[in-house]
Amino acid sequence: MLELVHMTATYSNAMLVAILPHVSDFAMKLGLPISQPITASQVVWFHPSPYKDLIGGGLVLSNRYWFAFNNGCVEGFRTPDNIFYDQDPAANWPSYAYGKDNMTTNAVLALARESLKKLGYAPELLGCDAPPKSFNGPYDTKDGRYVPGCQMRWESIPDARTAEESKNNDIVTVEIDMNKKTVVGLHITSKKVWRAPPKLSVQPELEKDFKQRTKLDSMFIRTNAPPTLTK
């Protein structure tokens, strides 16, 4: 059973420091437009894992790039202009609807697979040498504009029915801007890419131990003691 840790600024900062080199390496391999090496000063939001022995979390940089780190590796990223994660697509999609397709479907698939290779993952390892299970986009909007973005999804066990099959299913999702010919999102869910977690410089206190300790401390505080000593 997963146990909660008592989250402190010290523990959260230690986790961020341990994760950032992996994020830097991921960004560098994909050629993302981010200053290297990535430092804590570039991080505007970080949500650390609250569970014991699970080193990970999500973070957003000052350029609004988002990354997720878990199981010893960066599992995914997305850019701020990734249309597939827009919180209000009905209002904002027209702002993406410029340009034209500068890539064929084959070129899009090749870029997705090449991106996996840059990260050190052979496409066949994750079942991405086969046709994707789904391919969404590009889109025509109701006002007559065109959104040149697409999303591909691969699953090694596309019809997983049991818990064991779901656990061993390799899922890869890639989003591409077909106008700029760039990857704007990539996420991998697979035990095949897991690595040993990074070491932290501090050890956390379990939440249950923190509550017990502070409860015991409060037992020795006399809340009804007089403000000053009397003679």
Confidence of residue 231 (pLDDT cuts 50, 70, 90): very low
**Domain housing 17:** 1-72+195-212
Q: Is residue 203 part of a domain?
A: yes
Domain tally for the chain? 2
Residue 98 located in a structural domain:
yes
Locate 18 and state its tokens: 């341990």
Q: In this structure, is residue 78 part of a structural domain? A: no
Residue 220 has pLDDT above 60, yes or no: no
Q: At what angle do helices 9-30 and 105-118 cross, to 10 degrees?
A: 130
Same domain for 179 and 95: yes
Q: What are the two backbone dihedrals, phi and then psi, of residue 211, each rounded to the nearest 5 degrees? A: -65, -40
Verify that 162 and 114 share a domain, yes or no.
Answer: yes
One domain, residues 187 and 104: yes
**Predicted local distance difference test score (pLDDT) of residue 229:** 44
- Same-domain status, 179 and 154: yes
What are the tokens at 62?
A: 């000052």
Clarify whether residues 47 and 126 are in a common domain: no
How does pLDDT run across 196-206, given as a tens digit for each residue? 999 998 999 89
Whether residues 65 and 101 fall in one domain: no
* Domain membership flag for residue 43: yes
Q: Are residues 13 and 100 located together in one domain of the fold?
A: no
Amino acid letter, 174: V
Burial environment of residue 128 by CB neighbours within 10 A (0 to 12, 13 to 18, 19 or more): buried
Does position 71 have pLDDT exceeding 50, yes or no? yes
Question: Within this chain, do residues 66 and 108 fall inside the same structural domain, yes or no?
Answer: no
What secondary structure does DSSP assign to 128-141, as a single string? TTSPPSEEE--EE-
Q: pLDDT at residue 25 above 80?
A: yes
Same domain, yes or no, for 117 and 163?
yes
* Residue 228 counted as domain residue: no
**pLDDT beyond 60 at 219:** no
Tokens of 92: 């904002």
Give pLDDT, residue 95. 72
Q: Is residue 230 part of a domain?
A: no
What digits encode the pLDDT tens for the residues 76-131? Answer: 999 998 989 988 877 776 676 677 889 999 999 999 999 999 999 999 999 999 99
201 and 186, same structural domain? no
Specify the pLDDT at position 168.
85
pTM for the model stands at 0.88
In a domain, 219, yes or no: no
| pLDDT value at residue 139 | 85
Domain shared by 67 and 106, yes or no: no
Is 130 a domain residue? yes
122 in the same domain as 105:
yes
